Amino acid sequence: MAALFGAIMSLTAQQYQIPINDASSLVRVGMNPHPVAEGDTLLAYTLMNALDNRDLDSLSFVCEAYRKKSLNKNIKERSWGSLAYILDRMIKDGTGEEFKKGDILTEDLYHYFTDNECAHLRNYLVIKYELNNYRPRSVKEHINQRTFYDDLLMYNDPNRETWDETNTIMSNLPIKRGDKIVDVGCGFGFNSYRILDLVGNEGMVYATDTEAAYTEHLSQLLNENGINNLVPLQTQSNELGVNDTVDCIFMSSLYHIIYTWSREDERASMITSIKKQLRDGGHMVIVDNYNLNGEELNNCHVDPRLIQAQLGFWGFEPVSLISLSEQRYMLILRHNDKYRPNCKVNMSENIPILNITGQKSVVHIGSLDSYDITDRGINAAQYVYDFMGGGDKSLAEIAIKKYEELIPLENFGGEYSALQWLCEVALASEAEREQMMTDPLDKSFYNYLTADNNKVIRYYLLHKYKLGNDSIRMLSDSILEKSGEVGRTHRSYLEDYILALNPKRTSWENTGKILDNLGLKPGESIADIGSGSGFFTHRFSNMVGENGKVYAIELKDEHIERLSTFLTENSVDNVTVIKGSEEKLELPELVDRMFMCSLYHIMYGVIPDNERDSYLKSLVKCLKPGGELIIVDNGPVDNETLPYHGPYINPELIVFQLSYYGFELVDQIQIIPQRYMLKFKLKD
């Protein structure tokens, strides 16, 4: 492994080095920052009944339960402290007991959730826990409202000092009276309001956030209290949004998102605007989370060395790293355009070293969508939707031409080419159509999406591209009996299905090169881990023949159902579909090969360390002696190169992590500029 990968790494100059001392990930962004744990829904019903009946005993019961949750450091969600505070104060108000008022943010929090017969508190319980058969009018409205409530409860928690070490943060901020500071991602102003005390009446605090609802809420509160030198501003993710020279930039619980979620161009634009408005020698302060083996605040963490490396290439020199608690750290950097990261470490040859040589992130998770939805994409989707609804064939012809223009510009490996293919099949003659669907998986793809007057594909386009209006989309949910979390899960499945089984995938992915280099022989066995609806499973089945065996391992029920239906319809008997687990791979026999495609970046950057550790250890136990583990995933590309798909992971992170489980890299093959294939064997 050392010789092979050393040759790869020698192609670039080593500027910032991070020793990889164990199998943990350097960065993680959990998909659900506010998870609903078992038993929480029952507490929500109990609280709702207590509010309805003005039952102080039941309020006290729920209050105590929430208080215990707030004190449990292993619980990721941090709304419990606020809820316990609100209920405790309600109880004391009900008994006439005196209760000391808090600052303006605390008073706002309390009255927001308790005024008008606790209207907002009731609404929060209904939306978050989907009580009383709750049906959202739209997915966007549901997510926005639920997130608003969750964030207000968490950000402005009156007991936030107990888990965020706010006093320590404020005492170490490199600012003085009269300074100007920007609180980026301010939320509802918790830190902004405390920073105001440090800069005084002579200073200025700009509180920026991309969520207009947050800054509007804060603006109203400040206006009511006559505070003029704390200015909330709604901004975009690619700009600072402040037209003033400032002394300090402050970010709390934001950089892990900037690092793993923001597009490269968005992050570059944001940092460029920060440099433009930050005075020479000004400071940038970042508060974020340490890795806690799956117990991180909000399910997220980012190693401070990654931040130092990335911002170092932008001219930010590290000043100090302060550990606030087991959970949190505070990184202080100084704006210095002459600074360039040159961190080199002297480590044993047995310790892998990650070399960072530029501004790109080493892991990018991206959004749940395969790419950003643009106005031009919406316009093309509308033509497909109208045509599939019984419109004239000319609409399909227009859609095909629009995708011809869009695909080279926006995303050549997304669903655009699949939607284009559906239109092409619809316009083809009977003979042409038969030729286009020679592959039974392509035929199954077309029939599934277009069955019953194109119901499935029209449903997907309607919701993905927000066509029509909220009422139409809600009605379509009713027709398919999909709503709430079920509806969102279904739409996510459809996106996966269309992206993975796109009949044009073989051309843009160069799938043939992957299969040719796999080395899979007739009679062998292979585990297709994360099989989805069977793009590679189908091909592996043909390669191993009737004496071979394919195990398709998948977590999502809808993929399992769809793949099982396909196998049954085509009388495929050398494939076994297995409902997978996030913590362990279980197979009925040892296999010759294991295969993962477009999965490892999720394992690295989303799955908690403890779950991934358990899963990777189980792989070792399921592989035959001399067997291979094959990873296909995406890497970063040059700015001039259009990526086929947003998410990526630097291959060395996979190599280094798997080395701690006894896997040795034996080959690396570049499939297309963004896509690579890694082949591993267990060390002797």
Q: What is the pLDDT of residues 352-369, one digit of tens each?
A: 889 888 888 999 987 544
Q: Provide mean pLDDT across the span 248-265.
A: 93
Amino acid at residue number 293? N
Q: Provide mean pLDDT across the span 664-672.
A: 96
Residue finishing a domain among 484, 501, 518: 501
Q: 449 near 495, Cβ under 8 Å?
A: no
> Would residue 23 count as lying in a domain?
no
Q: Provide mean pLDDT across the span 464-491.
A: 61
Torsion angles phi and psi, residue 204, rounded to 5: -145, 135
Q: What is the pLDDT of residue 410?
A: 83
Residues 6+ apart with CB under 8 A from 624: 590, 591, 592
Whether residue 450 is found in the same domain as residue 560: no
Model confidence at 474, pLDDT cuts 50, 70, 90, reads: low
Cα–Cα distance, 297 to 72 (Å, whole number): 12
> Would residue 367 count as lying in a domain?
no
Residue matched to tokens 């940038």: 284
408 class by beta-carbon count within 10 Å (0-12 exposed, 13-18 middle, 19+ buried): exposed
> Would residue 56 count as lying in a domain?
yes
Order of strands across the sheet with 278-289? Answer: 230-234, 204-209, 180-184, 246-252, 278-289, 328-335, 316-323
Model confidence at 30, pLDDT cuts 50, 70, 90, reads: confident
Whether residue 298 is found in the same domain as residue 417: no
Q: Provide mean pLDDT across the span 106-135.
A: 92
Q: 580 near 344, Cβ under 8 Å?
A: no
Q: Provide mean pLDDT across the span 329-343.
A: 91
> Across-strand partners of 576?
551
Sign of CA dihedral 171, 174, 180, 181: negative
Q: What is the pLDDT of residue 341?
A: 83
Q: Does residue 135 carry a pLDDT above 80?
A: no
Cα–Cα distance, 27 to 291 (Å, whole number): 8
Cα–Cα distance, 657 to 515 (Å, whole number): 25
Residues 6+ apart with CB under 8 A from 226: none
279 sits in the region (left: phi over 0; alpha: psi -120 to 50; else beta) called: beta
Q: Does residue 115 carry a pLDDT above 80?
A: yes
CATH number, domain containing residue 273: 3.40.50.150
> Would residue 212 count as lying in a domain?
yes
Residue 124's closest CA among 224, 34, 215?
34
- How many domains does the structure of the chain reveal? 4
pLDDT above 90 as % of the chain: 72
The token duo for 271 is 């940092």
Whether residue 518 is found in the same domain as residue 624: yes
Whether residue 192 is found in the same domain as residue 260: yes
Residue-wise pLDDT for 315-333, tens only, equals 999 999 999 999 999 999 9
Look at 68-77, 152-161, 254-263, 646-655 and tell me which has the smallest mean pLDDT: 68-77
pLDDT above 70 as % of the chain: 91
Whether residue 232 is found in the same domain as residue 89: no
Please state, in angstroms and as integers, the Cα–Cα distance from residue 143 to each residue in 124, 184, 313, 483, 488, following that order.
12, 22, 36, 13, 10
> Would residue 459 count as lying in a domain?
yes
Whole-number CA gyration radius for the chain: 27
Model confidence at 348, pLDDT cuts 50, 70, 90, reads: low
For the chain, what is the mean pLDDT? 90
Model confidence at 638, pLDDT cuts 50, 70, 90, reads: confident
Model confidence at 46, pLDDT cuts 50, 70, 90, reads: very high
Q: What is the pLDDT of residue 119?
A: 96
Whether residue 199 is found in the same domain as residue 295: yes
Model confidence at 12, pLDDT cuts 50, 70, 90, reads: very low
Amino acid at residue number 88? D
Residue 380's closest CA among 367, 370, 393, 395?
395
Amino acid at residue number 421? W
Q: What is the pLDDT of residue 491?
A: 81
Q: Does residue 130 carry a pLDDT above 60?
A: yes
Q: What is the pLDDT of residue 641?
A: 72
Look at 130-139, 473-482, 579-588, 622-631 and tell me which has the smallest mean pLDDT: 473-482
DSSP-derived pairing of the beta strands 316-323 and 246-252: unpaired
User: What SS3 state is found at 99?
Assistant: coil
Whether residue 151 is found in the same domain as residue 168: no
User: What SS3 state is found at 426?
Assistant: helix
Could you write out the DSSP letters of every residue in 537-549? Answer: HHHHHHHH-TT-E
33 or 484: whose pLDDT is higher? 33
C-alpha angle 675-681-683 in degrees, rounded to nearest 5:
135
Cα within 13 Å of Cα(479), Cβ side: 12
584 class by beta-carbon count within 10 Å (0-12 exposed, 13-18 middle, 19+ buried): middle
Please state, in angstroms and as integers, the Cα–Cα distance from residue 403 to each residue in 108, 190, 399, 406, 496, following that order.
50, 46, 6, 5, 20
Q: What is the pLDDT of residue 647?
A: 87
Residue finishing a domain among 155, 171, 197: 155
Please state the pTM of the whole predicted model: 0.89
The token duo for 321 is 């790293």
Torsion angles phi and psi, residue 131, rounded to 5: -75, 155
The terminus-to-terminus CA distance of the chain in angstroms comes to: 13
The neighbour count for residue 499, using CB atoms within 10 Å, is: 20
431 or 340: whose pLDDT is higher? 431
Look at 131-140, 270-279, 412-421, 437-446 and tell me which has the smallest mean pLDDT: 131-140
Whether residue 521 is found in the same domain as residue 647: yes
Whether residue 455 is found in the same domain as residue 436: yes
Q: What is the pLDDT of residue 349?
A: 64
C-alpha angle 386-391-397 in degrees, rounded to nearest 5:
80
Q: Provide mean pLDDT across the span 473-500.
A: 67
Q: 270 near 238, Cβ under 8 Å?
A: yes
Domain range spanning residue 319?
Answer: 163-357
> Would residue 57 count as lying in a domain?
yes
Model confidence at 35, pLDDT cuts 50, 70, 90, reads: low
Q: Does residue 589 carry a pLDDT above 90?
A: yes
C-alpha angle 566-645-602 in degrees, rounded to nearest 5:
75
Q: 99 near 89, Cβ under 8 Å?
A: yes
Sign of CA dihedral 553, 481, 602, 78: negative
Please report which residue ranges of 358-439 form alpha helices under DSSP H: 375-388, 393-406, 416-427, 430-436
412 or 211: whose pLDDT is higher? 211
Look at 113-122, 317-326, 486-495 and tell me which has the smallest mean pLDDT: 486-495
Residue finishing a domain among 155, 188, 217: 155
Whether residue 398 is found in the same domain as residue 339: no
Please state, in angstroms and as integers, the Cα–Cα distance from residue 204 to each residue in 229, 245, 603, following that order.
5, 11, 43
Long-range CB contacts (within 8 A, 24+) of 616-619 = 616/23, 616/657, 616/658, 616/661, 617/661, 618/584, 618/585, 618/586, 619/585, 619/594, 619/661
Whether residue 435 is found in the same domain as residue 528: no
> Across-strand partners of 383?
none
171 class by beta-carbon count within 10 Å (0-12 exposed, 13-18 middle, 19+ buried): exposed
Q: Does residue 680 carry a pLDDT above 90?
A: yes
Amino acid at residue number 676? Y
Could you write out the DSSP letters of every residue in 303-337? Answer: -HHHHHHHHHTTTEEEEEEEE-SSSEEEEEEEE-T
> Would residue 183 count as lying in a domain?
yes
Q: What is the pLDDT of residue 7?
A: 37
Whether residue 333 is found in the same domain as residue 386: no
Residue matched to tokens 């630097």: 650
> Would residue 14 count as lying in a domain?
no
Q: What is the DSSP letter of 254?
A: -
Cα–Cα distance, 322 to 401 (Å, whole number): 56
